[in-house]
């Protein structure tokens, strides 16, 4: 009977939901607590269709097959990639007015950890371009990483529709993007500053650092306390003394032990 159902109608049993939650937690650190069943069904319906299976039992067989990469596809489909240009704008005012003047004139490394579709690293790049008159003479780079290859492919393409671009002031839009019939493309002044790379925050990090600034916003909210704790320690290790960590406004570090100094909501200094 179930093979006659469309993938969106496939029944997700409690055991299957638990198994999916276990895999997503092991691979990406993401929690899928009870109550997220309908989210899982809506996000995975496309994967079931793509793989031509009509039940979660059949789908999980593909996921368990270590020779395929369906586990990675499944985790990717279950990530939440919502983001915006100038999201939580107080952070970018603080970056421009307080952080950049405090860092001197040496090389500058900024990491957007969990950059989703790229609005955050491009916002950082616009702030750097606007705020650093000596940028051309300095070694300045923004690293933008995400676990989701789907989101990262969009970030790398650097193309955005009118709705996304509404958050970008028109003077910056004109300075840093080109427009064609379908949307806007980030231009070389921004793209030359940003390097995109896939990276799972739960695994080894190939970068040695140090970074002067790390943005990890609206990512840790999906992790449990122990995972947040480990991650915040690793960010601390990778930051230069005097460097800054920005987290999402819904993600205070209360309950997490850390060596940072609290500066203002969702901003911490080493
Ligand atoms: C809601 S978006 C946040 C985007 C941006 N930082 C912002 O605040 O607008 C969260 C991103 O974290 C990524 N993510 C989740 N778990 C991750 C992990 N273990 N490693 C790397 N990225 C992860 C997701 O793929 C997603 O793109």
**Token digits for 176?**
């840093």
Which of 27, 116, 203, 247 is the pocket-test mutation for ligand 1 (most atoms within 8 Å of CB)?
116
By CB atoms closer than 10 A (0-12, 13-18, 19+), residue 127 is buried
Write down the pTM of the prediction.
0.95
12 φ, ψ (degrees, to nearest 5): -105, 105
With a cut of 50, list the residues of the chain below it in pLDDT.
1-5
* CATH hierarchy code of domain 7-78: 1.10.155.10
* Ligand 1 and 238: CB distance under 6 A: no
Residue 3 confidence (pLDDT): 44
Residue 83: its pLDDT value, please? Answer: 98
CA 11 – ligand 1 centroid, Å: 28
Residue 240, classified by CB atoms within 10 Å of its CB into exposed (0-12), middle (13-18) or buried (19+), is middle
Predicted pLDDT of residue 8: 58
Residues in the chain: 270
Ligand 1: does its nearest atom lie under 6 Å from the Cβ of 27?
Answer: no
Domain spans in the chain, listed from the N-terminal domain onward: 7-78, 89-269
Task: Provide the pLDDT for residue 1.
Answer: 38
Give the pLDDT confidence of 245-260 residue by residue, as tens digits: 999 999 878 888 999 9
Partnered with residue 174 across adjacent β-strands are: none
**Tens digits of residue pLDDT in 3-20:** 444 555 789 999 999 999
pLDDT, position 10: 81
- pLDDT score, position 67: 78
Topology annotation, domain 89-269: Rossmann fold (3.40.50)
- 201 touches ligand 1 (CB under 6 Å): yes
Same fold, 7-78 and 89-269: no
């Amino acid at each position: 009977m179930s093979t006659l159902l469309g993938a969106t109608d496939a029944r997700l049993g409690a055991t299957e939901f638990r198994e999916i939650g276990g895999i997503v937690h092991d691979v990406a650190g993401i929690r899928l607590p009870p109550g997220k069943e309908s989210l899982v069904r809506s996000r995975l319906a496309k994967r079931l269709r793509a793989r031509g299976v009509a039940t979660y039992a059949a789908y999980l067989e593909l996921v368990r097959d270590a020779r395929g990469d369906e586990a990675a596809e499944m985790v990717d489909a279950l990530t939440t990639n919502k983001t915006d240009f100038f999201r939580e704008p107080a952070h970018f005012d603080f970056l421009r007015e307080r952080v950049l003047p405090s860092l001197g004139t040496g090389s500058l490394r900024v990491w957007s950890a969990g950059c989703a579709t790229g609005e955050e690293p491009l916002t950082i790049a616009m702030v750097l371009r606007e705020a650093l008159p000596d940028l051309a003479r300095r070694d300045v780079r923004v690293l933008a990483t995400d676990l989701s290859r789907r989101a990262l492919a969009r970030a790398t393409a650097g193309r955005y529709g009118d709705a996304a671009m509404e958050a970008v002031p028109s003077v910056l839009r004109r300075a840093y993007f080109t427009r064609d019939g379908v949307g806007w493309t980030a231009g070389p002044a921004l793209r030359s500053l940003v390097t995109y790379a896939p990276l799972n925050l739960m695994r080894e990090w190939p970068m040695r650092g140090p970074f002067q600034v790390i943005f990890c916003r609206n990512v840790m909210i999906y992790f449990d306390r122990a995972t947040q704790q480990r991650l915040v320690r690793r960010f601390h290790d990778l930051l230069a003394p005097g460097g800054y960590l920005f987290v999402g406004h819904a993600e205070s570090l209360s309950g997490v032990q850390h060596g940072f100094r609290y500066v203002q909501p969702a901003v911490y200094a080493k």
